[in-house]
Amino acid sequence: MQLFVGLGNPGAKYAQNRHNIGFMVLDRIAADHGFAPWRSKFQGQVSEGRLGGDRVILLKPETFMNLSGQSVGEAMRFYKLEPDEVTVFHDELDLAPGRLKVKTGGGHAGHNGLRSIHSHIGEAYHRVRLGIGHPGRKELVAGYVLHDFAKADEDWLDDLMRGVSDGAAHLANGDAGRFMNAVSQRTAPPRSSKTAKDDAPKPATERPAPKPAEPAPDTRSPLERLMDRFK
């Protein structure tokens, strides 16, 4: 059994915030893979289903971001899970929008949701870092993550959601490489052979042979031309 945790804040006010991308990913997985309806449990929202041959519990803590670890710890104790069976999906300022990385263990890098989970279950769990970009200055971070995604973000955000959902079964099976490949197929798909052919440099066009120069007009008088014939 695996526990997939998406981080975010509860309520419609926060639903489209950058900080809520973890919630969004779990909603997409649940919808695409026919998971059971969401229900209240473990101070959060829970949905159960299967990804490939693995039973997976989806958890969206409703304790607000800074207390996420309370909900995660409660769910782990109920299902008797180890940190290695937990994967947390969260927003990542240090990755460009649409980029994704998988990590196991390590620090929380100042992320309050991860900080709370560290305090309840330790650091030996898996994370899927979902890039949202950085506003550029530290003092702008709080407003940035608690602001809705811009309309211009819709395309890359949808590609990322689809890619994570496509590869979710590989992630549940512990195959991070195939999971990342599935995401890449959506976020950076290979060009088709036709596109590659169209984009290939065209061979230089052969220049036509130059036309022979036309003879200069004959300006001699008829008498001069006659005399030249007998020279």
Report the CATH number at residue 42: 3.40.50.1470
Percentage of the residues of the chain whose pLDDT score is greater than 90: 80
For residue 199, give both structure tokens: 């984009």
Helix (H) or strand (E) holding 56: strand 54-61
Ranking 141-145, 167-171, 216-220 by mean pLDDT, the lowest is: 216-220
Task: Output the CA–CA distances (angstroms, integers) from residue 126 to 47, 82, 103, 194, in the order listed.
Answer: 19, 11, 6, 39
- Average pLDDT value for the chain: 89
| Total tally of structural domains belonging to the chain | 1
Does 92 fall in a domain? yes
Q: pTM score, two decimals? A: 0.82
Q: Is 200 among the domain residues?
A: no
The confidence score (pLDDT) of residue 229 equals 63
- List the one residue out of 48, 182, 34, 23 whose CA is nearest residue 102: 182
User: Mind listing the pLDDT tens digit for each residue in 3-15?
Assistant: 999 999 999 999 9
Over residues 168-182, the mean pLDDT reads 97
Q: Is residue 231 part of a domain?
A: no
Per-residue model confidence (pLDDT) at position 213? 54
Segment 19-36 mean pLDDT: 98
Full domain range(s) for residue 13: 2-187
pLDDT for res 16: 97
Residue 217 included in any domain: no
What's the whole-number mean pLDDT along residues 142-155? 96
| Token duo for residue 140 | 């702008």
CB neighbours of 79 closer than 8 A, spacing ≥ 6? Answer: 1, 3, 57
Do 92 and 101 contact (CB within 8 A), yes or no?
yes
Active site residues: 19
pLDDT for 189 equals 76
How far, in Å, CA of 206 to CA of 18, rounded? 55
Residue 23: inside a domain, yes or no? yes
